[in-house]
């Protein structure tokens, strides 16, 4: 066997195409070779922007002696976790069952049938900090597989049973009123009261959990909840995790202060943060949030737009072989570039001659987090533009140009909603362009798409990848519903209905939820079922919201029943693990707390436009907004059915459950009504 990755399109796999390791892509041929040679499989999973993946590659996979040992003892399979999240999900779960913390690079040892029997994450080339040398691990695992077959067989049996058990969700009932508030109150105990965010270093944004607490504040007016969310968003948005020159957030902070990022930028993080910042801006009217939304959306369009107008997956943490090199500065560089403005900028962004990270400076405003007056902020903006132009001359971090349907769905929904709220039609157009490429162009390129309307998970270098996962359909259906609300075009509603039908046909679990993979997808050792959030929100959680909106928009009660089925399938674990199930809890609010708002007026009527804008900018996460012509009918069962305009004026009605408000004809009155709702 030789290294076979040169035939792949994934940027991550191509990074390893010149390794002396005889890497194989995941597939039947690799496992057939393992069976024929009676060798265990070494499965290595990572992604292109992963810093520690690069470290292990340089230290071990490029080392001729370690590579020779890998080739001698194992069949070696390399997987891009973004391209194959189904594979990554199974083996991350297996590692957790072994009592190890997950992450990337993931290093798992499998039988030739693909069942794991041991594993870990990063292994150093030499023993250090209590971690064994990678070569020692390789020798020991091969020895156990060769000489202790009974032990391996027992481990495999126990692991297979444990994996099957994890795929059996804890069923329950519908979520009772008040439970979300109780769980948010409990979650407050995990917040860092000094520096914001959840837990200690390393710190991740944990957007669904922050969303859960912010929603609870809107219901209860608990000031502690408001303070916790505001502190977290301020520290993230003014800390080093935010790119103050180019816009966009890094994946996480390595410290408790939010100063030192892990410099990789992920499309999904930024999409989720735009969504959260929109609700926070509507709630607190903080200029910082609107600025970060604007800068991040512009960064996404400027730097992440790829083929067909869809969005690329990630930007690397490293450039020129060093983590963060592209982003950090020293004081002399800034003084030379900014001249007389340097002192003001350095004071604002914490720039000192000694630096704040490895002798360099990560720009941040943690020392002075409050925004200055408009003139001072304009002066800082000019300085940032000067430094950005200078930074653009540096060697850029690598970009993973893979287009992923689920991550694009999150980005399209965020850009559409942000464009709707902040009057940026260019953002909505960018979302539409990406949507059309994902929904129509990529499937049409692939014979594997099969029946009409089925999605493809990934696309790279002109080649469609494998069939879509649950998360792809859920995120894209959510994006379609956002576009339907923004544009009023029924074709987007039709897409969401079609994809919900495909999920029911090919992904449905007999208990009511969804499997991650389709019933006709290439076989793995397990079809997983979960509503737990990972780095991205869970597909089952998102589908609760999709079904709820489809019910409210169409009046078809079958969608309500399907939403309730999904909730019941997974709600048994809510009280013990609300943090992991935050998306399920947040989306389930629509079933009991939907605020259906109808604006009756023509598309050309400026008064109707003012009412729509007031609705979109209100702090109401459960808004379902429709505009209808004065002579049009609402779906059967809609609480505002039969309502009319007042004296020929554009008129709105706010409905909660079967009860609607009195008619509202002024924008401020509508915003007040939605805030109270």
The pLDDT, as a whole number, for residue 276 is 98
Domain boundaries, the chain: 5-166, 327-391, 595-676
d(CA 608, CA 628): 10
Residues whose CB falls within 8 Å of the CB of residue 136, separated by 6 or more in sequence, listed in order: 127
Q: For residue 205, what pLDDT is reported?
A: 96
3-state secondary structure of 604: coil
Alpha-carbon distance of 480 to 469, in angstroms, equals: 17
Q: What are phi and psi of 75, to 5 degrees?
A: -95, 120
Phi, psi of 279 (to 5 degrees): -65, -40
Of 279, 265, 313, residue with least CA distance to 51: 265
Residues of the chain with pLDDT under 70: 447-452
Is the whole-model pTM more than 0.75?
Answer: yes
Report pLDDT for 131: 86
Query: What local confidence, expressed as pLDDT, does residue 458 receive?
Result: 96
pLDDT at 130: 81
Q: Which two tokens stand for residue 355?
A: 């630096």
In whole angstroms, give the CA distance from residue 86 to residue 354.
46
Instruction: Name the residue among 502, 514, 474, 470 with its Cα closest to residue 167.
Output: 514
> In whole angstroms, what is the distance from residue 278 CA to residue 293 CA?
7
Architecture in CATH of 595-676:
3-Layer(aba) Sandwich (3.40)
Q: Which two tokens stand for residue 294?
A: 């604007």
CATH superfamily of 5-166: Glutaredoxin (3.40.30.10)
Beta strands 41-46 and 659-660 are: unpaired
User: Could you tell me how far CA 645 lies from the centroid of its own chain?
Assistant: 41
- Using DSSP's 3-state secondary structure scheme, residue 244 falls into coil
Beta strands in 241-296 (DSSP E): 252-253, 261-262, 265-266
- DSSP H or E run through 377: helix 374-391
Helices (H), strands (E): how many in the chain?
A: 25, 18
pLDDT value for 510: 87
**Strand intervals (E) in 143-219:** none
């Amino acid at each position: 066997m030789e290294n076979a990755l040169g035939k792949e399109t994934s940027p991550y796999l191509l990074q390893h195409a010149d390794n002396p390791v005889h890497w194989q892509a995941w597939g039947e041929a690799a496992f057939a070779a393992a069976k024929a040679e009676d060798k265990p499989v070494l499965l290595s999973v990572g992604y292109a922007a992963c810093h520690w993946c690069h470290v292990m590659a340089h230290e071990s996979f490029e080392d001729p002696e370690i590579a020779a040992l890998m080739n001698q003892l194992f069949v070696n399979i390399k997987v891009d976790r973004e391209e194959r999240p189904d594979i990554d999900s199974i083996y991350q779960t297996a590692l957790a069952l072994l009592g190890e913390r997950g992450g990337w690079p993931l290093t798992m040892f499998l039988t030739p049938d693909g069942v794991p029997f041991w594993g870990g994450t990063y292994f150093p080339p030499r023993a250090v900090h209590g971690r064994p040398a990678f070569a020692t691990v390789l020798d020991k695992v091969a020895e156990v597989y060769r000489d202790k077959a009974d032990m391996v067989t027992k481990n495999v049996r126990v692991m297979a049973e444990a994996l099957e058990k994890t795929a059996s969700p804890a069923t329950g009932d519908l979520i009772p009123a008040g439970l979300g508030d109780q769980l948010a109150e409990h979650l407050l105990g995990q917040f860092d009261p000094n520096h914001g965010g959840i837990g200690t270093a390393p710190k991740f944004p944990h957007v669904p959990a922050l969303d859960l607490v912010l929603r609870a504040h809107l219901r209860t007016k608990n000031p502690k909840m408001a303070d916790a969310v505001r502190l977290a968003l301020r520290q993230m948005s003014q800390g080093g995790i935010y790119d103050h020159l180019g816009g966009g957030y890094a994946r996480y902070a390595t410290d408790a202060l939010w100063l030192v990022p892990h410099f990789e930028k992920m499309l999904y993080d930024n999409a989720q943060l735009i969504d959260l910042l929109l609700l926070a801006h509507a709630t607190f009217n903080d200029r910082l949030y609107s600025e970060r939304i604007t800068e991040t959306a512009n960064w996404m369009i400027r730097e992440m737009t790829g083929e067909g107008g869809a969005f690329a997956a990630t930007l690397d943490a490293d450039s020129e072989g060093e983590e963060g090199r592209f982003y950090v500065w020293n004081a002399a560089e800034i003084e030379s570039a900014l001249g007389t403005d340097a002192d003001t900028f350095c004071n604002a962004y914490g720039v000192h001659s000694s630096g704040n990270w490895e002798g360099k400076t990560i720009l941040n405003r943690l020392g002075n987090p409050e925004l200055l007056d408009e003139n001072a902020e304009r002066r800082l903006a000019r300085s940032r533009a000067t430094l950005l132009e200078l930074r653009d001359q540096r060697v850029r971090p690598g970009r993973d140009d893979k287009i992923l349907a689920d991550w694009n769905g999150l980005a399209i929904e965020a850009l559409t909603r942000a464009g709707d709220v902040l009057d940026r039609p260019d953002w909505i157009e960018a979302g539409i362009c990406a949507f059309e490429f994902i929904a129509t162009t990529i499937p049409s390129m692939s014979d594997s798409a099969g029946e009409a309307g089925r999605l493809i998970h990934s696309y790279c270098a002109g080649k469609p990848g494998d069939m879509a996962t649950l998360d792809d359909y859920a995120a894209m259906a959510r994006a379609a519903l956002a576009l339907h609300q923004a544009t009023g075009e029924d074709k987007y509603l039709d897409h969401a209905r079609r994809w919900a039908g495909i999920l029911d046909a090919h992904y449905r679990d007999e208990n009511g939820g969804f499997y991650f993979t389709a019933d006709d997808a290439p076989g793995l050792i397990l079809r997983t079922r979960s509503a737990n959030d990972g780095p991205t929100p869970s597909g089952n959680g998102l589908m609760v919201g999709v079904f709820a909106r489809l019910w409210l928009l169409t009046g078809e009660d079958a969608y309500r029943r399907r939403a309730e089925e999904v909730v019941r399938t997974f709600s048994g674990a809510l009280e013990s693990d609300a943090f992991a199930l935050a998306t399920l809890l947040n989306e389930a609010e629509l079933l009991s707390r939907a605020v259906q708002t109808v604006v009756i007026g023509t598309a050309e009527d400026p008064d109707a436009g003012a009412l729509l804008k007031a609705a979109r900018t209100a702090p109401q996460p459960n808004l379902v907004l429709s505009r209808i012509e004065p002579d049009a009918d609402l779906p059967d069962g809609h609480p505002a059915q039969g309502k009319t305009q007042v004296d020929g004026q554009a008129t709105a009605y706010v409905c909660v459950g079967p009860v609607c408000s009195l008619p509202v004809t002024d924008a401020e009155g509508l915003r007040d009504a939605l805030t109270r709702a």
